[in-house]
Structure 1
Amino acid sequence: MEKGTLLTGKQIKHELCLMLEKIDKFLEQNNIRYSIMSGTMLGAVRHRGFIPWDDDTDIGILRADYDRLVKILKNKNEISGNLSGIGFEINSNDFWPFIKIINKDILVKEDGMSRKENLWVDIFAFDEMPTKFLGFRFKEHVFLRTILMHKSIADGFHSDWNKGLKKNLWLLLEKFVDREKLTRLYIDRCTKYNFRKNDLVNDWTWGGRTTSTVSRTLFDDLTEYQFEDVVVKGFRDYDTYLKRIYGNYMELPPEGQRVNHNFVAWKVKNSEE
């Protein structure tokens, strides 16, 4: 089926900024605190916008506010016209164990992906961390996440990886694991420690690393950041957060480590399904 006009990299980033602007307004209207995070926070601090070679945006929310957002989107899944939310907790038919805000008017195809998706902004919950045996718990968590990811590969998310999958034992795994039960188990493990009211939190659901564990008090002191031509919210103490993840975050990484999703994007025509 014929695609619409391809978007340039600059146009993709402009569309992502428009999405951030709408999401910011929606979260503020619903009294949900958030912070830009990871490379988006680094880009805001170091480049006042996107890291030049980056092509996605990430938002972090404490689990209690995240759960409220899930309820809001399950009740009325519309943020602003062409924006809506997807994810397992919104609709169990979706694989993702976190929220993706998608632009229904723009399709993308990423290198190695077997199917088209909508342009997205990721929203991750920050969950409380165990106070004991963190290293062991983290390895256990990564193992479960690896199983979940390989199950998604087997279900056709990554066609290129799927070829390699057939050469190893993960192929046996996908035959015996129910994806919905596995995703529910994974989310339950991520939220296991929240009742303890620990100070330390982490974007445990997907990209969490032991080095990205920070104090929940960072969410108590937010400020505004210029990100390209829009204004977004983030931790006032960006230095503590970015040092935890990147170390000397003002130093550019070697060119070989400057990676992105490497996707193409186009506006959806009326004939596009």
Structure 2
Amino acid sequence: MASRPDDLPDDRPSGDPERDAVPIGTVLSGRRREGRAPAVPGRAAWRNRLRGLYVGTGGTATRFQRSVAIVDLLIIAFFVASPVIQGWRGFLWIDYSIAVLLALDLGARALAARRLSKWALRPVVWVDFVVLATLLAPAWMVNLGFLRILRLWTLSQNDFFWRFLRRHGRQDWEDAARAIVNLVTCLFVITGFVYIAFAGAGSGIENWIDALYFTVAAVTTTGFGDVTLPGTLGKLTSIVTMIVGISLFVRLAQALFRPFKVSFRCPRCALMRHEPDAVHCKACGHVLAIPDDGGN
């Protein structure tokens, strides 16, 4: 029988509690050097599998992320249609079902997070909790229902969609696509607020389409004048809508017309934006190794 190396911990109990209390790091190190895989607690292994599904790039992870993305898109379609179908008899059943799905998704992401405190401080997580609250208490938070469409913005923060573009050689579309998502999200959020706050108040807004019409006219600063919001709140809403709209359109124009640059962190000066074929960082001259799949 081969003898154990002297530098490895002996797993056999000696009867002495202090001697038997071998640090877990020493045991795992010894197992690795012996060629044995270190034992991973069941809960940690389960969390690792969850993390692999949400952020992995393998076949199983990609299929899982694709399924989650499809469900998210269907949920967003329901949110967009909510003002029109609120009177439907099965509306609340769908509403609560989506709340359950979103709660399960948030719980799974929390378990998959490496640091729960850091994950909980992310703005996208706060937005998802607000959306969940409007789903769980639709009768009490009906005036905040327009915030549900912010789920579209949180979905756009998922790297799955942008990896899809990069995989197909369309990474130059990423900035423009993000700008379009931000603009569309803004349009629907403002439309929902205008509909909730001003519908039926003598403003000419009788339904959700009227609210969307006003929002588009204000965001584009066209302002046809046939629909105006009454009172001080209406004027302030119009002002904010125009300012936000101009900002988002400028951002979209920049994304569409400025030269495409890749996002790659320089190891020396941390500059993020570089030319696609850059060999050296233009700020500090450090040699870069920008990944390139050869598609360009």
Please state which structure has a larger fraction of its residues in helix.
Answer: 2
Higher relative contact order (CA 8 A, sep 6+): 1
Superposition TM-score tier, normalisation by shorter sequence: under 0.3
From the CA coordinates, give the structure whose radius of gyration is larger: 2
Please state which structure has a larger fraction of its residues in strand.
Answer: 1
